[in-house]
Amino acid sequence: MKKIATIDRYLDYPPVRDLYPDIVLDTLKPPLTMWDMTKSAIRVVLFSDYDGFCAEGTRQIFFMAFLKLIFFKKIILVCRPRLKPPPKSLLKYIREWLKIQVFKMGVNHFIVISNSEVEAYHKYWGIKKERMTYIPFKVNSSDLLSKMEIGEENFIYSGGDSLRDYKTLFKAVEGLDIKVNIVTNLDFGTNPVPGNVCIINNSGTFSEFYTPCSRACFAVFPIESGYIRSAGQGSYLGAMFLGKAVIVSDTPGVRDIIDNGINGIIVPPGDAKLLREKILILWEDRTLRHRLGRTAQTQAREYYTHDRYIDNIYKVFQKTLTT
């Protein structure tokens, strides 16, 4: 019997967890401050009998791996990192390089959510490919999404905070007779927002984020370039689950999910002119957006389920704990 811990509550999911009776799971309280994170890492690594821990996020992984190394602990760490490309500044590069060395020495196995991350993390930071497992991401809260009423009102939806490139979207829709609703907490400061764009601040509720998406004609997810990690998959998978055609910037992880012209449309990141063209095509062509939306919905509901994602993580743990 192996005992593992995590602060990722979605692993505590009986339909999958019960398939692994040889693994006992403890779900810990998420740390809210740096001090909480430090105490949690000390408690798990130094004063617990856990065989393994599932960590997510750069700081948590670093604390766990560092303590494991300096105190020669044998706890198995399975982590999902969010790594940056090598910084151009020498000082920043050295700092990032040292952090990655701690990861490479202290983490037993890395989970990534795109094939491009496997290639990039190997190319830029030397993490061996055999130490990484690609697990396709999942539709978040599909049970709640399935209860939403689907409509098709005269506006376009966009949403999310992580690595979003709304500046390009603003340029693409400026002057169009098309309303755009964006659900985000990003602060645009003095940057002008086009008059046809409505910014909806998201207080963190699921309904507030996805209800506009369920009522939109289609969804657009502009994502920044220059990063080697994935971003936005949960958002555009949610839109696909709702049967919406999606336009997504060609960034890490997108081509694992979007087959251009089949279940969505891919555009080069930062290309406002082409994004504008694709928006106008979908806006005018109802048949096309319905075809893309139906295919997207079928695939999202079949291949990107909560069960499959969680099961894949347990399989990684089961294999890592026995090697």
Domains and CATH numbers, the chain: 2-138+306-321 (3.40.50.2000), 142-303 (3.40.50.2000)
pTM value > 0.85: yes
The answer to whether residues 243 and 293 touch, using CB atoms and an 8 Å cutoff, is yes
Residue 99 sits at the vertex; the CA angle it makes with 97 and 100, to the nearest 5 degrees, is: 65
CA distance 146 to 11: 21
DSSP 201: -
CB-count burial class (<10 Å; 0-12, 13-18, 19+) for 178: middle
Q: How confident is the model at residue 58 (pLDDT cuts 50, 70, 90)?
A: confident
pLDDT at 162 over 90: yes
Look at the chain and count its residues: 323
pLDDT at 194: 96
pLDDT, one tens digit per residue, over 215-248 is 999 999 999 999 999 999 999 999 999 999 999 9
Q: How confident is the model at residue 49 (pLDDT cuts 50, 70, 90)?
A: very high
* Sheet hosting strand 132-134, strand order edge to edge: 23-27, 2-6, 52-56, 76-80, 109-112, 132-134
